[in-house]
Amino acid sequence: MKKVIDILGIILPALIIILGIIRVFVQRTKGVNGLTMLFAILLLLVGLVRYYVFPGNNGSKDNEPKPLPLAVSKHSTAFNQSLQQVLEKYYETTAAFVKADTVAINQSTLALQMALDSFKIDELNVDTLIYQTALQPYQNAKAEIASIIADPSLTEKRASFNLLSNELFTLLSTARYDLAKLYWQECSTAFGEDGPPGNWLSPEEKSTNPYGTKEDCAEIKTNINFVATDTTKKL
């Protein structure tokens, strides 16, 4: 729109000048008075300078990057905060497994246990089917957390962590976690060539393998992505 106005700023004074010249020299009648002609010439010069010397100003607002749509969650703030706390403690537990630090594993798992106990799963009860479906992996996840704490060896703890990760993946998928995109990572040789794969959740595409085999043994198998955006806001 601003560019159209700049073009009109050239065309209109040019028309005034042309009409004045036609009236004087072609129709041989009294033309536009001198002050009006001078003003039109000045407007024409300003329009030409504005359009050709400062072209970057034309439509500058139209060329500005538009703000990204805002993420919109279908869940309540309390629900999201409780679930986000579960994920944060889970990521801390994952980091402890990467370091193979059993003391840190037990400490972070205890914190994860408290976060999962505080998870507001009852909000899902607005849909009975979703709630009943989410209850099973939720209870299973709590059982696997207890196993991690009780397991005497690091190998056994890793096996329980793998089962815990599978249950959390099912829980988050059922609850349709929509605050961010999560990546479902897999190390195919986590428990040996003939053993089951090791899986874990990650907020990033690049993630370190927490199962103690090769550090680069990580492959994205799928993701959880229910992030919605608000497209009703005017940009």
**Per-residue pLDDT at 131:** 94
Does 167 lie in the same domain as 98? yes
Does 82 lie in the same domain as 53? no
Does 76 lie in the same domain as 55? no
Does 131 lie in the same domain as 52? no
Does residue 124 belong to any structural domain of this protein?
Answer: yes
pTM reported for the whole predicted model:
0.67
**Per-residue pLDDT at 109:** 98
Crossing angle between the packed helical segments 77-99 and 154-175, to the nearest 10 degrees: 160
**Per-residue pLDDT at 60:** 44
For the four alpha carbons of 34, 39, 43 and 49, in that order, the dihedral sign comes to positive
Q: Which residue has the tokens 């990650």?
A: 202
Give CA–CA dist 148/146, Å, rounded. Answer: 6
Does 93 lie in the same domain as 141? yes
pLDDT at 139 over 60: yes
pLDDT at 158 over 50: yes
Does residue 168 belong to any structural domain of this protein?
Answer: yes
pLDDT at 40 over 60: no
Number of structural domains (the chain) is 2
DSSP string, 124-164: GGGSHHHHHHHHHHHHHHHHHHHHHHH-SSHHHHHHHHHHH
**Per-residue pLDDT at 68:** 44
Nearby residues of 57 by Cβ (< 8 Å), 6 or more positions away: 2, 50
Does residue 78 belong to any structural domain of this protein?
Answer: yes
**Per-residue pLDDT at 193:** 86
Does residue 161 belong to any structural domain of this protein?
Answer: yes
pLDDT at 71 over 70: no
Q: Which residue has the tokens 């899986």?
A: 199
Does residue 235 belong to any structural domain of this protein?
Answer: no
Does 43 lie in the same domain as 82? no
Query: Residue 46's domain spans which residues?
Result: 2-63
Q: At residue 168, what is the residue type?
A: L
pLDDT digits (tens, 9 = 90+) for 20-39: 666 555 555 555 556 555 55
Does residue 10 belong to any structural domain of this protein?
Answer: yes
What mean pLDDT do residues 65-69 have? 48
pLDDT at 76 over 60: yes
Does 194 lie in the same domain as 226? yes
Does 134 lie in the same domain as 100? yes
